[in-house]
Amino acid sequence: MKFKVDRDTMADAVSWASRTLPSKSTLPLLTGMHLVAEKSGLVLSGSDADVSARASLNVDVEQPGTVLVPGRLLADITRSLPSAPIEFSVEGSRALITCGRSTFTIPTMPVAEYPPLPTMPAISGTIGGSELATAIAQVAAAASRDETLPAFTGIKIDVEGSTITLAATDRYRLAVRELDWSPVSTSLTTHALVPAKFLSESSKSLSHSELVSIAFAAANEGLIGLEGSGRQTTSRMLAADFPKYRTLLPSESTSVAQIITSALVESVKRVSLVLERESPIRISFTNGEAIVTGGGGSGELAEAKEAVECTLTGEELTIAFNHQFLLDGLSAIDSSVAVISMTTPIRPAVISGATEFGAQPDDSFKYLIMPIRQP
């Protein structure tokens, strides 16, 4: 094997493919990067048995071949090389990497024993790369990081024809986003529970792609694939039951507040400076202003209070939230005006966005947050 490639192109592709590699594995070969050089170009692949990544790039192939090399070492080397063309060749059981005046020799691994990677399922439809990345980022904030509860570490994907619904919850908040896509068949109906970490990282790295293809395998195969700009990645779905989240969204509200998102975010950040661990932030909504308070309770504790302009339709009320969960929701709506719909201080509130005061909220994204009961 022998080829020449642009340093930035190679480093970027290796970095992409190596993100799936395990740092340790009961199968040492899975720590390797699989390279296949053909006249048509170079394909780099990596996998940890659950997630796989492939990157295709144009290179000048002098001698086709296949090799398996330590993946993270290759990533570290290509990332540190000077800005000059890379020459890569294999001689016996060693791989030679030359770039400018730098030369590295690294060992190869037994490529014949490398396990086959998952096959990308047939394409189910396409969607804009930046649109997909934005939608996934909105709901991923609500996914749990607790691996002992696998159902809550995933994002539920429901497909009904040309509509995709994404949902995630950690039991204390729920984020739901609906968006349009272009399915191969308008009669397509499918459901999948996919690791939130996989979707977040993959969609972010494919966000520059004009179109991203999404592939859902048959239910018994439990595989999902994303592809865009010559890059392809797959993941196994989570074998767990996601809660029936649609029943959790309130059908009505008695109080609806509209408030400038950035003003409320800054106010919550300032007031949260005095919060003790696990202490909530309290907001009293009236027609004209929202009073954000935190801390207090005794003369020994710090306390903060700040007023923010808002409009209220319905009954006045005071409600308390985990301040970080509230900030996550306000950041996710990506709208200049936050619309907070409530019923009572102990029932869930729903945050959505609007373009201006008095405008109808955008129901394509909803962030439900559980309040903290106050004495």
Domain finish residue from 246, 261, 278: 246
Cα separations in angstroms, 131 against 92, 189, 211, 224, 325: 47, 21, 9, 18, 23
Per-residue pLDDT of the chain (375 residues; tens, 9 = 90+): 999 999 999 999 999 999 999 987 778 899 999 999 999 999 999 999 899 999 999 999 999 999 999 999 999 999 999 999 999 999 999 999 999 999 999 999 999 999 988 888 999 999 999 999 999 999 999 999 998 999 999 999 999 999 999 999 999 999 999 999 999 999 999 999 999 999 999 999 999 999 999 999 876 578 999 999 999 999 999 989 999 999 999 989 999 999 999 999 999 999 999 998 889 999 999 989 999 999 876 666 899 999 999 999 999 999 999 999 999 999 999 899 999 999 999 999 999 999 999 899 999 999 999 999 987
Is residue 375 in a domain? no
Identify the DSSP state of 23. Answer: S
Give the 3-state secondary structure of residue 232: strand
pTM of the model: 0.91
pLDDT in tens, 208-241: 999 999 999 876 578 999 999 999 999 999 989 9
At position 203, the amino acid (one-letter code) is S
* 118 belongs to a structural domain: no
State whether 164 and 213 are in the same domain. Answer: yes
User: Tell me, what CATH number does 257's domain have?
Assistant: 3.10.150.10
Number of domains in the chain: 3
Distances (CA, A) of 266 to 78, 139, 166, 269, 323: 42, 22, 28, 5, 12
Q: Is residue 209 part of a domain?
A: yes
Contact indicator for 341, 311 with CB cutoff of 8 Å: no
| Cα separation, 63 vs 187, whole angstroms | 47
**30 Cβ contact partners less than 8 Å away, ≥ 6 residues apart:** 21, 22, 47, 48, 49, 115
Our CA angle for 264, 156, 163, nearest 5°, is 85
The residue among 202, 238, 194, 162 whose CA lies nearest residue 54 is: 202
Choosing from 199, 230, 246, the residue where a domain stops is 246
Domain limits for position 66: 2-113
